[in-house]
Chain A
């Protein structure tokens, strides 16, 4: 079986169109994010979250009323996984998990209520985790930049980082919008953060595969026009780029559909991130390298100069 016979798609020729597309999408996502705001889970802001299971399904409005009557104002209620399971969230911390269960049991006496889970995060931990999250993302990016710059050349490291930041922002926009539209629960908590970090680690993979091929082809086809060579490399690796992503996508789709509410947000975010990561490996990372060499390093890649081994001397 073979999805792609020998291809010769002009990926690089379309680079400006895709630059614009990504730019529009990312800016749109950022605007949406700044308007809608990222909804942080209690991991990052502190508070109490209690997961309860009602034996018989209860309307969330009724639960909210019962909570208000019991003196817990400002509670947020969401459904959680299976029927009858709800998450109740409050700003307060302290000994309230069992108070909530007691109050609900009083309000719904003929509906057995069990405590599934409860998380209480002090505001101190919350702010610490936020700092740590930002630190983790920065460190990951720096670590990858250093590694790729070391294994390839600095400009490729830059290309990989641009693609990476692109993936994170792109994914963030989609996550915020999807969460806001209520399609899937994607509030920013620890597992979503882990998803973003994994995306950072994984989406580089495809980029690295293409860069690896460029590195190899530069030795093999000395004197070939750099743009052409990049295009050739992308075409040559297309089949493995698609197939490697496909297996991971298969797995992630399974997780989204089957693994239950705790992992759903994580798997969905990774799914988006990895699809975006593949797109950026093909259309953004190498294109950025070309753009950077042309505009910043003032290398000319037109047919005449390409006779000389321009790239290997300049980079």
Chain B
């Protein structure tokens, strides 16, 4: 009798354990249903205080239970419930490029960087390691050292040792990755996604599983915005314009040298007469203008007697002006007079003598590429005022050309590279509307330190412009009217309220130290997920029925016991999945269904062996013992080989494949337990009652 109790317990305990593990899943579903009902009801009659009370009541009574049930329930994978799966990669190359001193970057450095980039594509090796290896190969022979490019100094005037720089770079890299994880987690939390999964994968990747999200566009923006907010001084002044003039001269001379012509500076021949021409009809000009400025210049210049092109035909003048001004003819330069009612004036570059004050630069999209090519040259960078950079406005103006086709144009700004203030002083951000023009804006408040500095900066730069730069795009560049105390500032220039809302979230969550890139993105719509669950369940049921049918037919009572063992196995798989916080994916369901087919294998091996032993004339009891013990080695060997592949799939696979491998492995362990221990216990329970026969479907003559 005692023996039987032990055996019953052996069968019952695992079942109870599996049911206990799966109870939260059942309970969570039930509670969510209740919750939905309560909220549905509240939606219908919003007037009654009753419904509100009901919600409160529900939350009070079941809120905590629902929370814990949700945490312990079996989670469905994204392919079943719908959602977005994203792999992000932290761009360490950009981090390296940005932490180097910009005025020191040269061809050697870029060569090292490009090689590193190419190698990092197919390797999970630390990017800084790859970088340093390449640096030693390429830069060291040229007598260049890390200290030539990186300056993390501070304490001493002397340059840091190479190892120390390398160390700093590495810790910066780690910081950037950890911080990216944190920032992205915060952004996702603030955006309001329930049960996201955020995991680090390999050295520099972040895996995100975002259930229920289907708006890819917004999500992408939310994840990829670096959100580096900076306040920078605008240097659109006469010094800059004069530098542009120098760039023209440099490029024109270079072009002539290339052509093999005599270097003869035509513009120099012109006298220092102020040739700046006011262009009054600014608005019509914008529409007429044909991406380059040659058109208008020619008109303004032709009438002037002191100009170097005097006496030339219009066409020739235009041609010569373009040749002499290969850079500035790409964009429009407008002088903004101080006086209140004065209109901006368009300026040409015939003579290096420009009025003191503020300028605007306006460029059309088709030539931006050419413009960028020019300003990215090192020789050109050196001609620009020291410590400045050129950035474009975030939002384009849309213009129509003569044919009615839309052409975008941008303003660009010459800014002091060193920011006056960065976004980390921002404590709060609110998305709202500008009361004056009803445009979406984000207004920000700063911490005490930020407020003090903001007050000082604005106080020192009254009547100057400060650009608000987000991720290297200029959102606005307002003129400082007076000292701002209290630390409030605003970002304008958003196209819609949605964008303002996202900006608010990313500003509050903080900036990323290095940009991240989406390298893999999978979205499953909710309807496909539902279909998958349905077809998964259907095939599960059909498969079980078929197997039950076959087993009962072939192995009779033994077959039914095998099927019961398999059912317990399935319960155990689900229970273990829930206990280990695993997720059930569609391939996972396939893994479970496959387990049904494979788990009976072990029983088949045993029963065939028992039949064989019975055929040799053994008694039922000893045949069963022999059958189990002799089949054991074959069962172990065959299951372990499958387990090995499951293990490899789990470690090398991603996402859904891992789900499959996980259920397959749990299934194999469950198979070993249920087939070897459980079904033996069940069969022995029959035998212990004193039965002398047991129906394994063996031929009649053998059931002696």
Residues on A facing B (Cβ under 8 Å): 1-2, 51, 53, 81-82, 95, 97-98, 114-122, 124-125, 127-128, 131-132, 135-136, 139-140, 143-144, 147-148, 151, 190-191, 193-194, 197-198, 200-202, 204-206, 208-209, 211-213, 215-216, 236-237, 239-240, 243-244, 246-252, 254-255, 258-260, 262-263, 266-267, 270
> Whose C-beta in chain B lies nearest to the C-beta of A191?
B587
Shortest beta-carbon distance from A209 to chain B in Å: 5
Write 25 A-B pairs (CB below 8 A) sorted by A numbering.
Answer: A2-B697, A95-B220, A98-B216, A115-B523, A117-B524, A119-B522, A125-B520, A132-B652, A136-B652, A139-B648, A143-B644, A144-B645, A147-B637, A148-B641, A191-B656, A198-B664, A205-B601, A206-B638, A209-B634, A243-B554, A246-B550, A248-B598, A251-B596, A252-B597, A260-B532
Contact between B587 and A202, CB atoms less than 8 A apart? no
Shortest beta-carbon distance from A311 to chain B in Å: 19
B605 within 8 A of A: yes
Task: Give the secondary structure class of B's interface.
Answer: helix
Contact between A121 and B520, CB atoms less than 8 A apart? yes
Contact between B519 and A194, CB atoms less than 8 A apart? no
Interface 1/0s, chain B 631-649, versus A by CB < 8 A? Answer: 0011001111111111111
Residues on B facing A (Cβ under 8 Å): 79, 87, 121-122, 214, 216-217, 220, 517-525, 527-528, 531-532, 535-536, 538-539, 542-543, 546-547, 550-551, 553-554, 586-587, 590, 593-594, 596-598, 600-601, 604-605, 608, 612, 630, 633-634, 637-649, 652-654, 656-657, 660-661, 664, 697-699
Known: A136-B648, A208-B634. 8 other contacts (CB 8 A): A117-B525, A118-B521, A201-B642, A201-B646, A208-B637, A209-B638, A250-B546, A260-B531
Among the listed B528, B639, B649, which residue makes an inter-chain contact with A197, where contact means beta carbons less than 8 Å apart? B649
> Whose C-beta in chain A lies nearest to the C-beta of B598?
A248
Given the interface pairs A98-B217, A131-B122, A248-B597, the reply to whether A198 lies near B522 with Cβ below 8 Å is no
Contacts of B79 in A (CB 8 A): 262
> Whose C-beta in chain A lies nearest to the C-beta of B655?
A190
Contacts of B640 in A (CB 8 A): 147
Shortest beta-carbon distance from A50 to chain B in Å: 9
Q: Which 8 A-B pairs have the closest CB atoms?
A: A201-B645, A248-B597, A251-B597, A205-B638, A260-B535, A201-B642, A122-B519, A212-B634
Shortest beta-carbon distance from B499 to chain A in Å: 15
Contacts of A254 in B (CB 8 A): 539, 542-543, 546, 593
Contact between B519 and A125, CB atoms less than 8 A apart? yes
> Whose C-beta in chain B lies nearest to the C-beta of A131?
B122
Contact between A240 and B531, CB atoms less than 8 A apart? no
Contacts of B122 in A (CB 8 A): 124, 127-128, 131
Contact between B598 and A202, CB atoms less than 8 A apart? yes
Contact between A201 and B593, CB atoms less than 8 A apart? no
CA distance A205 to B586 in the complex (A): 25
Among the listed B551, B652, B654, which residue makes an inter-chain contact with A139, where contact means beta carbons less than 8 Å apart? B652
Among the listed A82, A119, A143, which residue makes an inter-chain contact with B648, where contact means beta carbons less than 8 Å apart? A143
Contact between B590 and A259, CB atoms less than 8 A apart? yes
Contacts of A215 in B (CB 8 A): 633
Contacts of B660 in A (CB 8 A): 194
Given the interface pairs A247-B597, A255-B590, the reply to whether A151 lies near B216 with Cβ below 8 Å is no
Contacts of B644 in A (CB 8 A): 140, 143-144, 147, 201
Contacts of A2 in B (CB 8 A): 697-699
Contact between A202 and B642, CB atoms less than 8 A apart? yes
Shortest beta-carbon distance from A127 to chain B in Å: 6
Contact between B586 and A263, CB atoms less than 8 A apart? yes
Given the interface pairs A200-B645, A259-B590, A262-B79, the reply to whether A251 lies near B604 with Cβ below 8 Å is no
CA distance A243 to B607 in the complex (A): 11
CA distance A216 to B657 in the complex (A): 37
Contacts of A200 in B (CB 8 A): 645
Given the interface pairs A136-B648, A136-B652, the reply to whether A258 lies near B538 with Cβ below 8 Å is yes
Contact between A197 and B637, CB atoms less than 8 A apart? no
Shortest beta-carbon distance from A51 to chain B in Å: 7
Contacts of B646 in A (CB 8 A): 201
> Whose C-beta in chain B lies nearest to the C-beta of A85?
B528
CA distance A108 to B397 in the complex (A): 32
CA distance A147 to B523 in the complex (A): 40
Contact between B216 and A251, CB atoms less than 8 A apart? no
Among the listed A115, A205, A211, which residue makes an inter-chain contact with B214, where contact means beta carbons less than 8 Å apart? A115
> Whose C-beta in chain B lies nearest to the C-beta of A259?
B539
> Whose C-beta in chain B lies nearest to the C-beta of A253?
B546
Contacts of A216 in B (CB 8 A): 630
Contact between A266 and B605, CB atoms less than 8 A apart? no
Contact between B216 and A244, CB atoms less than 8 A apart? no
Among the listed A117, A205, A259, which residue makes an inter-chain contact with B535, where contact means beta carbons less than 8 Å apart? A259
Contacts of B522 in A (CB 8 A): 117-120
Contacts of A259 in B (CB 8 A): 535-536, 538-539, 590, 593
Shortest beta-carbon distance from B185 to chain A in Å: 22
Contact between A194 and B550, CB atoms less than 8 A apart? no
CA distance A97 to B524 in the complex (A): 12
Contact between A244 and B641, CB atoms less than 8 A apart? no
CA distance A255 to B535 in the complex (A): 9
CA distance A248 to B656 in the complex (A): 22
> Whose C-beta in chain A lies nearest to the C-beta of B544?
A251
Contact between B594 and A248, CB atoms less than 8 A apart? yes
> Whose C-beta in chain B lies nearest to the C-beta of A201?
B645
Contact between A247 and B527, CB atoms less than 8 A apart? no
CA distance A125 to B654 in the complex (A): 11
Contacts of B657 in A (CB 8 A): 190-191, 193-194
Contacts of A246 in B (CB 8 A): 550
Contact between B598 and A266, CB atoms less than 8 A apart? no
Contacts of B525 in A (CB 8 A): 51, 114-117
Given the interface pairs A201-B646, A250-B547, A263-B590, the reply to whether A244 lies near B605 with Cβ below 8 Å is yes
Contacts of A248 in B (CB 8 A): 594, 597-598, 601
Given the interface pairs A212-B637, A236-B612, the reply to whether A118 lies near B523 with Cβ below 8 Å is yes
> Whose C-beta in chain A lies nearest to the C-beta of B121?
A124
> Whose C-beta in chain B lies nearest to the C-beta of A80?
B528
CA distance A144 to B646 in the complex (A): 12
Contact between A122 and B648, CB atoms less than 8 A apart? no
Shortest beta-carbon distance from A89 to chain B in Å: 14
Contact between A240 and B605, CB atoms less than 8 A apart? yes
Contacts of B538 in A (CB 8 A): 258-259
Contact between A1 and B637, CB atoms less than 8 A apart? no
Shortest beta-carbon distance from B625 to chain A in Å: 16
> Whose C-beta in chain B lies nearest to the C-beta of A5?
B699
Contacts of A127 in B (CB 8 A): 121-122
CA distance A151 to B647 in the complex (A): 19
> Whose C-beta in chain B lies nearest to the C-beta of A53?
B527
Contact between A190 and B634, CB atoms less than 8 A apart? no
> Whose C-beta in chain A lies nearest to the C-beta of B78?
A117
Shortest beta-carbon distance from A260 to chain B in Å: 4
Contacts of A53 in B (CB 8 A): 527
Given the interface pairs A191-B656, A204-B641, the reply to whether A250 lies near B550 with Cβ below 8 Å is yes
Given the interface pairs A212-B637, A250-B543, A260-B532, the reply to whether A267 lies near B523 with Cβ below 8 Å is no
> Whose C-beta in chain B lies nearest to the C-beta of A51?
B528
Contact between B608 and A239, CB atoms less than 8 A apart? yes
Shortest beta-carbon distance from A284 to chain B in Å: 16
Given the interface pairs A114-B525, A240-B605, A255-B593, the reply to whether A247 lies near B539 with Cβ below 8 Å is no
CA distance A260 to B528 in the complex (A): 10
Contacts of A270 in B (CB 8 A): 594
Contact between A251 and B523, CB atoms less than 8 A apart? no
Contacts of A118 in B (CB 8 A): 216, 521-523
Contact between A197 and B648, CB atoms less than 8 A apart? yes
Contacts of B661 in A (CB 8 A): 194
Contacts of A209 in B (CB 8 A): 605, 634, 638
CA distance A114 to B550 in the complex (A): 42
Given the interface pairs A117-B528, A194-B587, A248-B601, the reply to whether A122 lies near B520 with Cβ below 8 Å is yes
Shortest beta-carbon distance from B386 to chain A in Å: 38
CA distance A39 to B519 in the complex (A): 22
Shortest beta-carbon distance from B694 to chain A in Å: 15
CA distance A120 to B217 in the complex (A): 13
